[in-house]
Amino acid sequence: MSEERAAEIFRALIMRRESRRALAARPVECEKLRAMLEAARWAPSYGNMQPWRFVLVQEPAALDAMRPAFTPGNAWAKQAPVLVVGTANPQDAKIVAGKEYYLFDLGLAVQNLLLQAVACGLVAHPMGGWDEQTVKQALGVPDEVRVVVVIALGYPGRLEELDEETRRKEQQPRTRKALAEIAFADRWGRPWDAGA
Ligand SMILES: Cc1cc2nc3c(=O)[nH]c(=O)nc-3n(C[C@H](O)[C@H](O)[C@H](O)COP(=O)(O)O)c2cc1C
């Protein structure tokens, strides 16, 4: 494959990833879950410490135990056939100049996982809106381990099955800050210009 073609495919994958809320009940194949976890496993981490640990929640009893954890705004996630819970022990990662790299490392692994999910035709929606103690109790996560993200995973579902408010959110256009706002040339605040 040419470099141009590979870049094009990668860009399409990035653009296809969306935090969608409509999820089908259809189960996710084990092979796809494995591909996602493999993608996460090969993420970089500070000192190759690999502080990430994931709990895949699929059994009805475990899903039931997780559901009370969600904030009202994330009630849609209760329909997900799989929840991927991203955790890390802060002591398993580097702390450099006060920066706790466990969050960064886990974030890199999660992004790999999300992109692999998209490549597998799945929706993977990361969330921070849930109660950590409830999640910990539901899954038996040790005290010293932090639960950082819960990812609602499944095949794309039908928009009509969402409540009105959630459907409205789902239909809002996705936006991003302009490149000039986030990328600087040689000096903080001087917008980087591709044409310069
Ligand atoms: C750490 C993190 C926490 C998030 N928490 C929630 C959440 O609790 N509920 C939700 O609906 N979306 C949540 N999101 C999704 C973001 O709202 C979404 O990524 C952002 O609006 C950009 O949209 P996009 O992912 O479709 O590009 C979260 C995303 C991240 C990375």
- In this predicted structure, what is the pLDDT of residue 195? 72
| 3-class DSSP state of 156 | strand
Residue 115 domain flag: yes
Question: What does the alpha-carbon distance between residue 84 and residue 114 come to, in Å, rounded to a whole number?
Answer: 10
Q: What share of the chain is helix, strand, coil (3-state, %, to 5)?
A: 45, 20, 35
Instruction: Quote the number of domains for the chain.
Output: 1
Residue 169, in any domain of the structure? no
Dist CA 89 CA 106 (whole Å): 10
Here the CATH number for the domain that contains residue 65 is 3.40.109.10
Q: Which of 126, 141, 35 is nearest to 87 (CA)?
A: 141
Pocket of ligand 1 contains residue 18 by CB under 6 Å: yes
Considering the domain boundaries, does residue 39 fall inside one?
yes
In 3D, which of 84, 174, 171 has the Cα closest to residue 125? 84
Q: Give domain status of residue 9, yes or no.
A: no
Residue 56, SS3 per DSSP: strand
Structural domain contains residue 125:
yes
Q: What is the pLDDT of residues 110-167, one digit of tens each?
A: 999 999 999 999 999 999 999 999 999 999 999 999 999 999 999 999 999 999 999 9
Across residues 50-73, what is the average pLDDT? 98
What is the extent of the structural domain holding 82? Answer: 16-158
3-state secondary structure of 196: coil
Gap from CA of 66 to ligand 1 centroid (Å): 19
Per the domain annotation, does 51 fall within a domain? yes
- Establish whether residue 174 lines the binding site of ligand 1, counting it when its CB lies within 6 angstroms of any ligand atom: yes
From 85, 108, 127, 165, the mutation candidate for ligand 1 (largest count of ligand atoms within 8 A of CB) is 127
77 CB near ligand 1 (under 6 Å)? no
What is the average pLDDT score of the chain? Answer: 96
Q: Is 34 domain-assigned? A: yes
Predicted TM-score (pTM) of the model is: 0.97
pLDDT in tens, 87-118: 999 999 899 999 999 999 999 999 999 999 99
Can you give the pLDDT at residue 41?
98
- Separation of CA 18 and ligand 1 centre (Å): 9
99-100 and 123-127: which strand pairing? unpaired
> E strand or H helix at 151, and its extent?
strand 146-154
Domain contains 105: yes
